[in-house]
Amino acid sequence: MTFRARHLLGIEHLAPEEIRTVLDLAETYVELNQRTVKHANALEGMTQINMFFEASTRTQASFELAGKRLGADVMNMAMQHSSVKKGETLIDTALTLNAMHPDLLVVRHPASGAVDLLAQKVNCAVLNAGDGRHEHPTQALLDALTIRRAKGRVQRLTVAICGDIAHSRVARSNLILLGKMENRIRLIGPPTLMPSGVADLGCEVYQDMREGLKDADVVMMLRLQKERMDGGFIPSEREYYHRYGLDAEKLAHAKEDAIVMHPGPMNRGVEIDGELADDINRSVIQDQVEMGVAVRMACMDLLARNLRAERGRQAVGVMV
């Protein structure tokens, strides 16, 4: 079992065997979460602070539940209403919280790189719950777990990621993770929502959805992030749905047993047909939510082990 990281800032820093470690441990938590008594003690006595500088419902709830099931004291801070509004800088906020001796800090921030910056200033383990358009590592891990459970592996698959790639941290983290695990990745979307230079990152880029979906094992839809758009990226939602919305007709181009994923929240009728999203034979969207809690439990468990080990070494004065 390998997991060396001190923080979980992005998939970029994880080795393939570390990713496997997270997924394997998460499997055990999937099982735990299906029991009536869902308690474990991996984080017993530890303090977890969720700092969300950007609105979030599902990710925050998922982290909160994960922490509570592992026995941590969990505190939620909705930062968009707090001292940040009074002009406090990110670093000062971090130092203030650091003084309260948290053990795990879960951070979401609208600026890319903000969580990295914060991690440099605190003594606890930091989990990136999404920073700007950069990374959302637990989402990519839960997607990988969902794929592995549905397909039996998360390797040598053809995965199509469709939609608003430019504004999506989920796409970036998935692109990195699926690449590390040796999958074939296709990005599908209008050129205005495709970040420049992505073709150099080891994926195939398609503008035609039917072409891109051909023989795909996994179809990953992304939300159209209207709140991050500062100008017309697409002519209209109805034209977008016509060309890039996933419906049964377009999905027919993928493999017969292809699964449909979406990180949520969904815009039904914009990027995905509502009926398709609810089709339990194709859609694994609810599984993703379930895996989310388990994966976050696994990540926090592993980081807590490393944190304890590090503190143990410091306490006995071992050179590291």
Partner 1 sequence: MTTLLTNARLIDPEAGTDTLGALLIEDGVIARIFDTPDGVPDKSPTLRRRDADGRCLAPGIVDLGVKIGEPGERHKESFRSAGLAAAAGGVTTIIARPDTNPAIDTPETLEFVTRRAAEACPVRIRHMAALTKGREGREMTEIGFLLDAGAIAFTDCDHVVTNTKVLSRALTYAKSLGALVMGHPQEPGLSGGAATTSGKFASLRGLPGVSPMAERIGFDRDMGMVEMTGVKYHFDQITTARALPPLERAKNNGFDVTAGTSIHHLTLNEFDVGDYRTFFKVKPPLRSEDDRLAVVEAVASGLIDIISSMHTPQDEESKRLPFEDAASGAVALETFLPAAMRLYHAGHLSLPQLFRAMALNPARRLDLPQGRLAEGAPADLVLFDPDAPFVLDRFTLNSKSKNTPFDGQRMEGKVLATWVAGVQVFGAE
Least gap, CB of 302 to partner 1 (angstroms): 22
Closer to partner 1 by Cβ: residue 90 or 144: 90
Euclidean distance between CA atoms 110 and 305, whole angstroms: 29
| Interaction of residue 223 with partner 1, rule CB under 8 A | no
Q: What does residue 14 show for φ and ψ, rounded to 5 degrees?
A: -95, 140
| Interaction of residue 200 with partner 1, rule CB under 8 A | yes
With b for 16 or more beta-carbon neighbours within 10 A and e for fewer, the 249-281 pattern comes to ebbebbbeebbbbbbbeebeebbbbeebbeeee
| Interaction of residue 179 with partner 1, rule CB under 8 A | no
DSSP letter for each residue of 244-266: H-B-HHHHTTS-TT-EEE--S--
Euclidean distance between CA atoms 235 and 265, whole angstroms: 22
Tell me which of 66, 154, 188, 198 binds partner 1, using CB under 8 A: 198
Least gap, CB of 206 to partner 1 (angstroms): 17
Which among 26, 83, 43 is positioned nearest to 291, based on CA atoms?
A: 26
Closer to partner 1 by Cβ: residue 104 or 198: 198
# binding residues, partner 1 (CB under 8 A): 25
Closer to partner 1 by Cβ: residue 127 or 258: 127
The CB-side HSE value for 168 (13 A sphere, CA atoms) comes to 30
Closer to partner 1 by Cβ: residue 109 or 282: 109
| Interaction of residue 7 with partner 1, rule CB under 8 A | no
Sequence-distant (≥ 6) Cβ neighbours of residue 208 within 8 angstroms: 188
Within 8-67, the residues that bind partner 1 by CB under 8 A are: 12
| Interaction of residue 69 with partner 1, rule CB under 8 A | no
Q: How far is CA 252 from CA 146, 161, 162, 272, in A?
A: 21, 16, 15, 14
Within 107-136, the residues that bind partner 1 by CB under 8 A are: 109, 111-114, 116-117, 131-135
| Interaction of residue 197 with partner 1, rule CB under 8 A | yes
Enumerate binding residues for partner 1 (CB under 8 A): 12, 89-91, 109, 111-114, 116-117, 131-135, 169, 172, 195-198, 200-201, 230
